[in-house]
């Protein structure tokens, strides 16, 4: 038995359990006592798929809540087969789940489900993002803004704090998310036709998590910052309000942590 | 240097695995627990609350770092990114021990996030020892290797698990984390004498013990870490303490996690056995 070949066969027998793959995976495994080799493989399959499913429930608890845990694991069956986990950290697995849910026909009536999944993934990324004090993306601190010359001003590239995530949705998914949190006791109904929402997801320095709705101006502004646009180019975008009214609160709230000169 | 802000990193007595649902209580009431085990893999992200909490815990308690991601038995190259993150974490938290398992978890870069069995023979022994040595060199310290629970055996195994582990410790210089519950679970699943297993291990290499609760299935025992420690596992633990002396012991409880008081009771029971038998 070649160990590498057997590990590959075992992996196939777990994730792609065709009769042929199971047979290959069972080669060299003892059938003793009350269990056949393939029953022994089943024990590992249940454990592996159960473990990864638990990991995903931890990242997508609202989705799980919305469809029920049985349906959630049923929905994941093919996802786990099609999308191997390439990191030893289970927390890095699941980025592709929102797209998968969007393609998952049996759940197509839950039009908002892929969007809720995306919101949960971004929340998870914000939760685990690097801390501001460990981040060296900005060369200059905000105090140094005062000493910037006029000809440098247009070339300022503001740096957002590392946890910031942005998303747009056709549905009020932030309300759906909120309604599915423990201890929620607000309104019990959401109007799906409320119109699109723009959301800013971030982790504050005190580690509290926030999902804030933005107006169109704010959303365009933060999107431009996240794309690394220089201030001159941001100023050319179309806003209904003066750009200073967008910049000042972003600085005061700590969402902008510093800047570079391009 | 950061050492000054920490208590000593030597551990003794019965510690607990730190679970997210208990952080608040541990940090606010500072219970009298001798040490905590942190699952290193949960603290590998770039930043955020879990890492901050780990630092706070470490300011009040010695810790060990337990890993499930080294995939030591795999035929893939070692994952240097993982080991780099582990090393950084260990430099920040100064654990008493770093441990992982006699198992494989990934192949062709694809992770199962589980601990999978290996055939016990000379080839696997070479393979494990070479990789343990590389990891120890990379981390600049000795690691502990834990015996897995298992549900299958191989035609090509020509050594017992206890012989394999004893030789592995001797050749690679690693030390041992002996999971008493895993020995018991495997002894039922594969019909061997668990007392003989314990008696065959090199006592001077054993630095930590694990205890946990299994679940009884129709034809086998499943290592679920979801219940209290079962009576035969306590019995085997007593034999282990008699042989290894008072060895730092961890209660593992990973699913259906009870309230902190229940968990603490299990640790106190372990300590009672430990102090009574190790005189
Ligand atoms: Fe263990």
What is the SS3 string spanning A82-101? HCCECCCCHHHCCCCHHHHH
B229 Ramachandran zone, left/alpha/beta (phi>0; psi -120 to 50): beta
Tell me how far apart the alpha carbons of residues A167 and A262 are, in angstroms, rounded to a whole number. 26
The pLDDT assigned to B7 comes to 53
Instruction: Please give the helix or strand (H or E) that residue B188 lies within, else none.
Output: helix B180-190
pLDDT in tens, B168-184: 999 999 999 999 999 99
Mutation for testing the A interface, residue in B107, B153, B161, B182 having most A CBs under 10 Å: B107
The pLDDT assigned to B177 comes to 98
Q: Per the CB < 8 Å rule, is A4 touching B75?
A: yes
Tell me how far apart the alpha carbons of residues B211 and B221 are, in angstroms, rounded to a whole number. 15
Q: What average pLDDT does this structure show over B257-273?
A: 93
Residue B100 Cα, ligand 1 centroid: separation in angstroms? 9
Q: Per the CB < 8 Å rule, is A3 touching B154?
A: no
Q: Per the CB < 8 Å rule, is B151 touching A40?
A: yes
For residue A35, the chain B residues in CB contact (below 8 A) are 151, 219-220
Q: Is A127 on the interface with B (CB under 8 A)?
A: yes
Q: Is A52 on the interface with B (CB under 8 A)?
A: yes
Tell me how far apart the alpha carbons of residues B182 and B168 are, in angstroms, rounded to a whole number. 18
Q: Which residue of chain B is at minimal alpha-carbon distance from A124?
A: B48
Q: Which among B41, B108, B123 has CB closest to A89?
A: B41
Tokens at A110, concatenated: 């839950």
Whose structure tokens read 């972003």?
A250
pLDDT in tens, B132-150: 999 999 999 999 999 999 9
Whether A12 contacts A21, CB under 8 Å? yes
Tell me how far apart the alpha carbons of residues A84 and B106 are, in angstroms, rounded to a whole number. 10
Per-residue DSSP letter, A162: T
> For residue B1, is pLDDT > 60?
no
Q: Is A136 on the interface with B (CB under 8 A)?
A: no
Q: Which residue of chain A is at minimal alpha-carbon distance from B151?
A: A40
Q: Which among A1, A32, A90 has CB closest to B156?
A: A1
Q: Which residue of chain A is at minimal alpha-carbon distance from B69?
A: A88
Nearest CA of chain B to the CA of A15: how many Å? 9
User: A148: Cβ–Cβ under 8 A, 6 or more apart, which residues?
Assistant: A156, A261
A to B CB pairs, distance under 8 Å: 131
C-alpha Rg value of chain A to the nearest Å: 24
Q: Which among B79, B123, B191 has CB closest to A3?
A: B123
pLDDT in tens, B48-85: 999 999 999 999 999 999 999 999 999 999 999 999 99
> For residue A200, is pLDDT > 60?
yes
> For residue B3, is pLDDT > 70?
no
For residue B111, the chain A residues in CB contact (below 8 A) are 84-88, 90
For residue A33, the chain B residues in CB contact (below 8 A) are 189, 191, 219
> For residue B194, is pLDDT > 80?
yes
User: A29: Cβ–Cβ under 8 A, 6 or more apart, which residues?
Assistant: A37, A40, A41, B152, B153, B154, B155
| Burial label, B137 (beta-carbon count in 10 A; 0-12, 13-18, 19+) | exposed
pLDDT in tens, A226-254: 999 999 999 999 999 999 999 999 999 99
Mutation for testing the A interface, residue in B40, B41, B46, B122 having most A CBs under 10 Å: B46
Q: Per the CB < 8 Å rule, is A40 touching B82?
A: no
* Angle CA A43–A46–A52, to nearest 5: 140
Q: Where are the domains of chain B?
A: 14-277
How do beta strands B98-101 and B104-107 pair?
unpaired
Angle between helices A37-59 and A69-82 (to 10 degrees): 110
Q: How many CB atoms lie within 10 A of CB B180?
A: 28
Tell me how far apart the alpha carbons of residues A114 and A110 are, in angstroms, rounded to a whole number. 8
Q: Which residue of chain A is at minimal alpha-carbon distance from B127?
A: A3
For residue B41, the chain A residues in CB contact (below 8 A) are 88-90
Task: Report the CATH number of the A130-262 domain.
Answer: 3.90.930
* Angle CA B85–B89–B92, to nearest 5: 145
For residue B191, the chain A residues in CB contact (below 8 A) are 32-33
> For residue A171, is pLDDT > 70?
yes
* pLDDT band, residue B4 (cuts 50/70/90): very low
Q: Per the CB < 8 Å rule, is B151 touching A28?
A: no
DSSP string, A8-69: HHHHHHHHS--HHHHHHHHTTB--BTTB-HHHHHHHHHHHHHHHHHHHHHHH-HHHHHHH-H
Instruction: From B196, B100, B198, select the one nearest B148 (Cα to Cα).
Output: B100
Instruction: From B208, B164, B188, select the one nearest B66 (Cα to Cα).
Output: B208
Question: In whole angstroms, how far apart are CA A81 and each of A12, A105, B69, B160?
Answer: 9, 17, 20, 34
Share of chain B above pLDDT 90, in %: 89
* pLDDT band, residue A213 (cuts 50/70/90): very high
Tokens at B218, concatenated: 């129709």
Q: What average pLDDT does this structure show over B216-242?
A: 96
Fold for B14-277, please state it.
TIM Barrel (3.20.20)
Q: How many CB atoms lie within 10 A of CB A44?
A: 21
At B19 the three-state DSSP class reads coil
Q: Which among B114, B118, B189 has CB closest to A48?
A: B114
* Angle CA A193–A197–A199, to nearest 5: 150
Whether B179 contacts B146, CB under 8 Å? yes
Q: Range with the lowest mean pLDDT among A97-101, A128-132, B1-5?
A: B1-5
At B214 the three-state DSSP class reads coil
Q: Where are the domains of chain A?
A: 130-262
The span from the first CA to the last CA of chain A, in angstroms, equals 59
Instruction: From A233, A141, A153, A176, select the one nearest A61 (Cα to Cα).
Output: A176
Residue B216 Cα, ligand 1 centroid: separation in angstroms? 17
Q: Is A128 on the interface with B (CB under 8 A)?
A: yes
Q: Per the CB < 8 Å rule, is B155 touching A52?
A: no
Angle between helices A216-226 and A244-252 (to 10 degrees): 70
Q: Per the CB < 8 Å rule, is A131 touching B110?
A: no
Tokens at A125, concatenated: 């990324």
């Amino acid at each position: 038995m070649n160990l590498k070949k057997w590990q590959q066969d075992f992996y196939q027998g777990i994730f792609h359990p065709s009769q042929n793959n199971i047979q290959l995976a069972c080669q060299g495994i003892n059938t003793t006592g009350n269990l056949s080799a393939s029953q022994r493989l089943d024990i590992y399959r249940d454990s592996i798929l159960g473990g990864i499913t638990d990991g995903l429930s931890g990242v997508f608890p609202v989705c799980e809540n919305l469809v029920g845990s049985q349906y959630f694991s049923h929905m994941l069956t093919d996802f786990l087969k099609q999308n191997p986990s390439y990191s030893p950290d289970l927390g890095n697995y699941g980025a592709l789940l929102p797209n998968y849910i969007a393609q998952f026909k049996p759940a197509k009536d839950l039009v908002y489900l892929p969007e809720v999944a995306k919101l949960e993934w971004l929340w998870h990324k914000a939760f685990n993002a690097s801390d501001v004090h460990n981040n060296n993306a900005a060369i200059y601190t905000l105090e140094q803004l005062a000493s910037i010359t006029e000809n440098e001003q247009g070339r300022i590239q503001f740096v957002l704090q590392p946890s910031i995530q942005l998303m747009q949705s056709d549905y009020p998914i932030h309300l759906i998310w909120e309604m599915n949190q423990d201890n929620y006791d607000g309104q019990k109904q959401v109007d799906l036709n409320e119109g699109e929402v723009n959301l800013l997801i971030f982790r504050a320095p005190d580690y509290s998590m926030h999902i804030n709705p933005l107006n169109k101006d704010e959303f365009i502004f933060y999107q431009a910052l996240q794309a690394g646009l220089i201030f001159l180019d941001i100023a050319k975008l179309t806003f209904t309000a003066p750009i200073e009214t967008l910049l000042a609160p972003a600085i005061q709230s700590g969402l902008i942590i510093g800047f570079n000169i391009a | 240097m950061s050492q000054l802000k920490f208590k000593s990193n030597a551990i003794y007595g019965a510690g607990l695995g730190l679970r997210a649902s208990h952080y608040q209580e541990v940090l606010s009431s500072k219970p009298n627990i001798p040490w905590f085990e942190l699952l290193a893999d949960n603290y590998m992200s770039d930043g955020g609350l879990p890492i901050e909490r780990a630092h706070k815990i470490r300011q009040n308690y010695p810790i060990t770092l337990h890993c499930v991601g080294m995939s030591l038995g795999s035929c893939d190259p070692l994952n240097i990114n993982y080991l780099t993150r582990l090393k950084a974490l260990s430099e920040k938290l100064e654990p008493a021990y770093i441990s992982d398992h006699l198992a494989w978890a990934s192949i062709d870069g694809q992770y199962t996030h589980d601990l999978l069995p290996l055939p016990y023979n000379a080839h696997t022994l070479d393979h494990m020892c070479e990789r343990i040595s590389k990891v120890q060199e990379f981390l600049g310290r000795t690691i502990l290797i834990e015996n897995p629970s298992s549900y299958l055996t191989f035609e090509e195994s020509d050594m017992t698990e206890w012989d394999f582990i004893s030789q592995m410790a001797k050749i690679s210089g690693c030390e041992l984390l002996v999971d008493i519950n895993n020995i018991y679970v495997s002894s039922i699943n594969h019909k061997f004498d668990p007392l003989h297993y314990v008696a065959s291990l090199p006592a001077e290499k054993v630095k930590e013990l694990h205890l946990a609760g299994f679940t009884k299935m129709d034809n086998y025992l499943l290592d679920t870490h979801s219940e209290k420690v079962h009576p035969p596992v306590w019995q085997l633990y007593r034999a282990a303490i008699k042989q290894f002396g008072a060895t730092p012991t961890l209660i593992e409880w990973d699913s259906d996690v009870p309230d902190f008081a229940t968990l603490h009771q299990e640790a106190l029971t372990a300590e009672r056995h430990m102090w009574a038998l190790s005189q």
